[in-house]
Amino acid sequence: MHYYSVDTNPRERVLYTLAALAVGLLAVLTRFRTSFWYPYLAPSGPALYALLVACFDRWLWRILPVRRALKIPDLNGVWQGDFRREGGEDPHEAKVTITQSLSRIKITFRGRSSSSTSIAADLSVADDQNVILRWQYDSKPLIATAKAADKYGEGAARATLEINQGEYQLAGLNFTTKKRLGTFVVRRIQRRSPSML
């Protein structure tokens, strides 16, 4: 997974809030110094802060009220749909797997003849109805041959998130440095990605 940027930058507020919470919790925990467990745990401010940040980054940000306040959609899951290359090719099945935390994301694509993994990503969340996910990726052929290797390389994709009656859909386009263009539409079929289960 790699870091991704968000145009609203809510993470700064989260870190300050968690720092204040860590200081408050530390003040409460130090009142129990006489307890038998205190010498073993001996809470320190930085350790408590790191624990809060890790828990928030991995799990707590996904809670609906928190997610709404942060304006970052939870894109975790397996997405399936169609991919069409420019040039009149028939559409073929595409599968996208997204693994996301508050600070990191990994987007993998698997099509009929290639697979790709994101190397950078950006999320634009102007409002709930206008969410755009952009990512750069490294594409590889599924069957390694000299001819196939010449067709693949780095590329970029841009997708708009559409939510209709609780169903999530990403629709967009992609292109590679080898001047190959395509469009795709994928729907989320599984909420959590396999690596998170």
Residue spans of the domains in the chain: they are: 8-70, 77-196
Residue 93: the pLDDT is 92
Q: Round to whole Å and give the CA distance between 6 and 71.
A: 10
Kindly tell me if the per-residue pLDDT of 40 is higher than 60. Answer: no
For the chain, the average pLDDT equals 84
Alpha helices (H) along 30-163: 38-41, 45-58, 64-70, 146-149
Which residues make Cβ contacts (< 8 Å) with residue 36, sequence separation at least 6?
Answer: none
Confidence of residue 122 (pLDDT cuts 50, 70, 90): very high
Local structure of residue 146 (DSSP, 8 states): H
pTM: 0.84
CATH number of 77-196: 2.40.128
Residue with tokens 């997405």: 79
Interior/surface letters 117-150, b for 16+ CB within 10 angstroms, e for the rest: ebeebebebeeeeebbbbbebebeeeeeeeeeee
Longest C-alpha distance within the chain, in Å?
75
Token digits of residue 16: 């300050």
Q: Round to whole Å and give the CA distance between 158 and 173.
A: 6
Kindly tell me if the per-residue pLDDT of 171 is higher than 90. Answer: yes
Confidence of residue 197 (pLDDT cuts 50, 70, 90): very low
Kindly tell me if the per-residue pLDDT of 113 is higher than 90. Answer: no
